[in-house]
A and B are shown apart, each in its own frame.
Chain A
């Protein structure tokens, strides 16, 4: 090398430009950030674990919610109306009303249940077969089980059925579904709130980790500044570190939720059996997985940006 040759840049203060130089500097930042993580494996692992646990709670809650709301959907066939007819209505009248109702647009099916069928079912459910045998007079009326086309029209339909001749009462067995829906809504809001809180936690945890990292590398930062590194160049490895922390934390959270789902699958199936229902657990959706991992990565970048910027300002770079 000859000491006489001058730097090529004209004005002297312009940084050597070009996409290639830019990408080379990025590659350096990326590699050096990975190097930092690898050089302190235990500290990195602990940070990532904290992030994962913090992310697990909202993600797990969301999955539970997703499953619960699907339970409601699967059981919409239970959104039937029980139309109790007058005591004096006989089989012929009941059948006529049944066929008339099944012609309505908003009704999918009508299932007439005779008093004796009703009594047998009731006895079966309650284990009272013998007691029923002793009853001479069946007090039950004819009942029409009406299945509407959609659950949303239930209230109007019930009102209309109530006005039909020979109808005693219409019972909408919807309350538990409404309660479930209301409960899901409450938990959904809670999940959103928790997600916001834990998102902030992720940013702060990453920020704090980066802050300690900066502290350990204070000397290096100063030397880099002395030999002409820009703020961006100094900041970039830390931003990458934040990104890795966030992505790794999100990924680990995803794995933990998957594990939890696998552990819960057995008991949930048993629970489903008691309801005679196929209660398979729905896994994390692809979209939620993506949001979890990428969102965590973005939060990591934000957290480290805040930490680095504060520090650079303090050492007046």
Chain B
């Protein structure tokens, strides 16, 4: 099916990413603007693959301290305790609330890593000019874009808890350095997902021309 479909690029046309209007490009090297909505037009996002790679690598680097460093430091009257994300998950699980543990595990550990793996897979497959499972890959991309925002859950919880639990001197909660890295992971993966141009997926489907990297 995809084999029969033409892409705008192959026809020398540019589609607006905002309103979907198909238009002719303004000139060879000029990008131009959409005549209907005024959005900037590009045949393919510039340096999409390189940018996405850079952001994914940055996110992957941040992912390590995000999990090693504590995200939350709880000071009580007599002691203070620092917890990492995994420690929180383990604590929730051992204290009996395994559904919560599962939610935190999925939202905070599995989704970021899943996004990294998914984007990496998309990039590699695009770079290798793979033509298999084009639709699945685009679906995967949509999924990554959709769930990206939900990964901020942990950061929000952290911010809420820190703001609310300030019962000094009995108890207080402070954010740990881990939460900064975690936030960086989430933001970087979201930006990476944005900078990846899904249209690249089916560029290889034709004769492979116009690939932009």
Judge: A and B partners, yes or no: no
B binding-site residues for A, Cβ under 8 Å: none
